[in-house]
Amino acid sequence: MKTEERTQLQAAITELRDEIEQHDYEYYVCSEPTVSDGEYDEKMRRLIALEKEHPEFYDPHSPTQRVGSDLSGNFRQAAHAFPMLSLGNIYTEAEVREFMEKDDCVLVEPKYDGISISLTYVDGRLTQALTRGDGETGEDVTANVRTVRTIPLRLWGTPPQTVEVRGEIVMPWKEFRRLNRERERLGEQPFANPRNAASGTIKQKSPRTASHRKLDAYIYQVTGEGLPPTHSGRISEAAKWGLRTAEPIPCHNTGDVLKAINRWDAIRKDYAVPTDGVVIKIDSLARQEQLGATGKTPRWAVAYKFQSEQAETRLLSVSYQVGRTGAVTPVANLEPVRLSGTVVRRATLYNADTIGKLDLHAGDRVYIEKGGEIIPKITGVDRDARPAGAEAVVFPLRCPDCGTPLVRPDGESTHYCPNAAGCPGQVKARIEHFASREAMNINIGPETINDLFNAGYATDAADLYDLPVACLRRMDGWGENNTRNLRDSLAASCRLPFERVLYALGVRYLGKTAAKRLAATFLSIDSLVGASFASLTSVDDIGERIAQSILDYFADEENRRLIERLRSAGLQFTAEEKEPADERSEALAGLTFVISGVFALHSRDEYRLMIERAGAKVSSSVSSRTDYILAGDNMGPSKLEKARNLGVRIISETDFLKMTGGEGYEQSV
Ligand code: AMP
Ligand code: ZN
């Protein structure tokens, strides 16, 4: 070979290795792949072929030499009993035929698209759950896996004393859509696909988060003493132990396999969980053992990948949308193109990094793909078709709506416009959120909000409650019906419970569930405004991030003014009484309490409830109107001094319990 040729070959191999490494990083570490699985596999195949043809370029660090690693370092690591392998991919009938030459007793199973997991049961009890990791070592995610309802903590029947089952943890489509809707509402980045969502959930540090997301699991491999000698036999055993298993279709020739593939391809769109192909496996374990594995993949099984639906079109422009939290999201405007039955005009670009990674230029030919999400994404660019002199797409430095310089918080991939109060995009998005169905359910759409905002009639949510009739009449296309509907829905919104109002305010990160909890715990906006960081985080579901965001929200005078105006408009800022009326008393009617310090017998929230049920008020700071301070340990010295100066009575928790009739007192002492 000529030196020149050698250098070129070497360069080609190095380039492929670098590219694949980059893709591995994006896929496994960032959970944000930028190429389709098909493209990735194609590159991998080219590299494998080149390396095979030219063994002189062997490199132990080549990506062909290992299974991609997803070790995050956040969990205890443990070695696998035997390697967790990946699967080779095939795409064509010819390749199916070739595989069938190895053995004619195979099974076709769906290839579940999630995160692989190894579960160990000892004496029928789940003792350990490991991720694939780098194939040799995985991460111990048992705590999170325990929250998956279809993974039994105890097996039924008579499994071997120690049994290891492997399978895939997946996020059902329905749950994926629900989660992404919730994340969008909270101003968080939606997951790109259910696989990332499943993997992100299993690698959460807090099992509580995992338990709120309904994951599912399918078992596709079973090992242990004394089990049947076939894959299908073992799968039916595992089903008897109460595990949810893959459903293997037995096949004996290429025709059967193709039929099974087509059957799965046809039903996958309506299937509850995501699948991205089928796995063809040889049934006999003896034959499996005989065939063994090549470094990365077993020889006795292969994945037939469904073609993901792709289309090619042209990038017309990129627009930037400002959300209610100030997050700026780039959106690609495309030349309309048909893709899986719908006409696509827009694709999400997520953030500045995505634009950079794609190396997007104006007028580029782009490939788009639907990964199950409603809005498709751009998976690649045809650089060869790029017009000469095309300009690179650059993420703006300033807010497209108000011109304020954008900021990007450390460790986040999102840019924000910091001008919360004055940015038209954010103001309109906040009103839209307030009016949305799950918030105050007001009959008004984004266009009308936009028109009202531009005309100066609606600059915040409270303005909706005193729109002059004349301004509505002038609205384009508005008739009497629209006006009546709007008025009716505004009136109805005044009857919606406090938890809905709290959610409608649009405090960053404060979702519906958390709003509900806060409403049930603090019972009124006033006690919530006075709540400390510690009392907020002591509530279930309220983490530090939400707590801080709530404090920031109420610290802003503008927000407090908005609340007052909404209150005068008639919205509910106190929770309705859930307790039966006889639990209420007037024992402490008219008195004002301040709660301070740490208590031994009840939590602060419980004391707050007791005080309010006895007809008294709880206030957050000591003033001349304070009647009693309910003091625990470690009461702040400044409060103590202020109380003494004002002559406020300080009582202990036992004093208080006696005072309120002693029921709680007797119970606790
Ligand atoms: P890949 O990650 O694309 O190389 O595909 C290999 C992975 O497919 C395995 O590690 C499993 O997690 C997953 N998989 C999904 N369904 C099955 C199945 N029925 N049998 C074997 N592996 C499966
Ligand atoms: Zn702005």
Nearest of 17, 166, 155, 21 to residue 81 by alpha carbon: 166
Phi, psi of 584 (to 5 degrees): -90, 150
Residue 1's pLDDT is 65
Residue 67's pLDDT is 53
Ligand 1 nearest atom to the CA of residue 116, by list position? 12
Residue 110, strand partner residues: 278
Ligand 2 geometric centre to CA of 424 (Å): 7
222 lines ligand 1 (CB under 6 A): no
Domain residue ranges in the chain = 3-65, 77-305, 310-398, 424-568, 581-660
Which amino acid would we find at residue 493? S
Ligand 1 geometric centre to CA of 98 (Å): 20
Sign of CA dihedral 573, 576, 581, 584: negative
403-457: pLDDT as tens digits = 999 999 888 888 999 998 899 999 999 999 999 988 999 999 888 899 899 989 9
70 lines ligand 1 (CB under 6 A): no
Residue 569's pLDDT is 93
Tokens standing for residue 570? 């008639």
In the numeric block, the tokens 């595990």 are attached to: 243
109 lines ligand 1 (CB under 6 A): yes
Ligand 2 geometric centre to CA of 194 (Å): 32
The closest residue, in CA terms, to atom 20 on ligand 1 is 220
Active-site entry in 43, 52, 102, 111: 111
Nearest of 107, 38, 36, 113 to residue 272 by alpha carbon: 113
No. of helices (H) and no. of strands (E), the chain = 25, 23
* Whether 183 contacts 350, CB under 8 Å: no
Ligand 2 geometric centre to CA of 117 (Å): 44
Topology of domain 77-305, per CATH?
A: D-amino Acid Aminotransferase; Chain A, domain 1 (3.30.470)
The closest residue, in CA terms, to atom 18 on ligand 1 is 111
The closest residue, in CA terms, to atom 16 on ligand 1 is 111
622, HSE (Cβ side, Cα atoms, 13 Å): 22
87 lines ligand 1 (CB under 6 A): yes
Closest ligand to residue 404's CA:
2
Nearest of 229, 222, 228, 232 to residue 281 by alpha carbon: 232
**Catalytic residue check, 357:** no
220 lines ligand 1 (CB under 6 A): yes
Which amino acid would we find at residue 294? T
Domain 3-65 has CATH 1.10.287.610: yes
Spell out where 255-357 has E strands: 275-282, 293-294, 297-298, 301-305, 310-322, 327-339, 342-348
Residue 527's pLDDT is 92
* Whether 177 contacts 190, CB under 8 Å: no
Pocket test for ligand 1, best of 27, 166, 220, 283 (most atoms within 8 A of CB): 220
The closest residue, in CA terms, to atom 17 on ligand 1 is 111
Residue 127's pLDDT is 95
Closest ligand to residue 84's CA:
1
112 lines ligand 1 (CB under 6 A): yes
8-state DSSP, 240 = H
Residue 32's pLDDT is 65
With a cut of 50, list the residues of the chain below it in pLDDT.
Answer: 663-669
Ligand 2 geometric centre to CA of 418 (Å): 7
Nearest of 68, 244, 240 to residue 149 by alpha carbon: 244
Sign of CA dihedral 72, 73, 77, 79: positive
Collect all residues with Cβ–Cβ distance below 8 Å to 460 and sequence separation of at least 6. 427, 430, 431, 562, 565
Residue 612's pLDDT is 84
Ligand 1 nearest atom to the CA of residue 37, by list position? 3
Closest ligand to residue 111's CA:
1
Ligand 2 geometric centre to CA of 249 (Å): 56
CA 175 to chain centre: 10
53-73: pLDDT as tens digits = 887 777 766 777 655 566 666
Pairing of strands 592-596, 617-619: parallel
Taking the C-alpha atoms of residue 271 and residue 264, their distance in angstroms, rounded to an integer, is 9
Closest ligand to residue 297's CA:
1
Question: Any idea of the CA torsion for 302, 308, 312, 313, to the nearest 10 degrees?
Answer: -150
Q: Work out the burial of residue 266: count CB atoms within 10 Å of its CB; fewer than 13 is exposed, 13-18 middle, 19 or more buried.
A: exposed
303 lines ligand 1 (CB under 6 A): yes
168 lines ligand 1 (CB under 6 A): yes
Domain 581-660 has CATH 3.40.50.10190: yes
The domain 424-568: what is its CATH number?
A: 1.10.150.20
Sign of CA dihedral 354, 357, 358, 360: positive
Residue 27's pLDDT is 66
Residue 371's pLDDT is 60
Tokens standing for residue 84? 């967790």
In the numeric block, the tokens 């705590």 are attached to: 143
Residue 63's pLDDT is 76
Ligand 2 geometric centre to CA of 414 (Å): 14
Superfamily of structural domain 310-398: Nucleic acid-binding proteins (2.40.50.140)
Residue 665's pLDDT is 41
28 lines ligand 1 (CB under 6 A): no
Pocket test for ligand 1, best of 20, 112, 221 (most atoms within 8 A of CB): 112
